Structure 1
Amino acid sequence: MRKAVFMILLAVVSGSAMAEWFEVGSNEITAIYVDPATIQRSGNMAKMWHLVDFKRVKKDMGDPYRSTKDQNEYDCKEEKLRRRAFSQHAENMGGGKVVYSDTFTTKWKPVPPDSGTQILWKFACVKK
């Protein structure tokens, strides 16, 4: 009995520590995921984490990476966004070593229509 309780507790703790990524779009190059549990809304503003999974290894100036995680802030009324935090990961789905990260805040920019960014904006801003 004690062992069964321990296993259930372990499953609950492990599950809550992991993000629940939900795919919102993909193409031949990437797949885009959001974690609905990270949505924070206040007035016309929303913040949310999303993950971009690459089908091929990417390399900018540093080490190669297979996925990125971003926290964006969205102006739901003005249809704008800015990035608040960013990390590149060696493995798919945000796994492996973090090869780069930063917490700079970018300038506000408009959400492009008919884009992956618009899908993210709608997910963060539309209240269900």
Structure 2
Amino acid sequence: MKKTIAAVIALCCFSASAEWVYVKNNVEGDKTFFDPKTIGIYETYRKAWVLINFAKPEKLGSDLAMSKSVYYKFDCKNTRLSVIAELTSAEPGGSGKLIKNVSFTDDTWIKPMKDEVMSKTLEQVCAR
């Protein structure tokens, strides 16, 4: 619960002053960005917020979502990532009604394929 509250507070604080850097579109046309101002280095990992603006609304229950803000942990040495929190919003840019808020307590690591959007995101975050 504390992580969820912290994630929401962090998103609210930086969304107004975010400097989203465009990464790449996926095959569906969703646009991915990261905010370099949120990159933090913790031990051997980096953590940063990533924004995905959906090309088409995604249905979640009775709501339609247009974006998702994801707080990632990046393992630059082993080229993998783990999701810490996901906030799904009704409007692009992580704004509007908060539809879904999920926190993850375990490190489930994902090794993105070389041509995937998140591989490019990991590369750009780790280069900073």
> Per the shorter chain, which TM-score range?
0.7 to 0.9
Instruction: Give the unaligned 5+ runs of structure 1.
Output: 1-14
Higher-Rg member (1/2): 1
Deviation larger for 109-118 or 65-74: 109-118
4+ aligned runs moved over 6 Å, structure 1: none
| Percent identity for Structure 1 against Structure 2 | 30
| Superposed CA RMSD | 2.0
Amino acid at match of 2:59: K
Partners of 1:76 and 1:39 in 2: CA distance? 13
Query: Is 1:26 matched with 2:25?
Result: yes
Work out the CA distance in 1 between the residues paired with 2:15 and 2:117: 27
Corresponding position: 1:118 with 2:119: yes
Q: Match for residue 65 of structure 1?
A: 65
Is residue 15–residue 94 contact of structure 2 (8 Å, CA) maintained in 1?
no
TM-fit CA distance, 1:111: 2.4
The size of the alignment, in residue pairs, is 113
Aligned residue in 2 for 1:36: 36
TM-score normalised per structure 2:
0.79
Which of the pair has the greater relative contact order for Cα pairs under 8 Å at 6+ separation?
Answer: 2
Alignment deviations for residues 47-74 of structure 1 (CA, whole Å, 9 cap, x no partner): 1101000121111445210000001101
CA distance in 2, matches of 1:69, 1:16: 10
Name the TM-score, length of structure 1 as normaliser.
Answer: 0.79
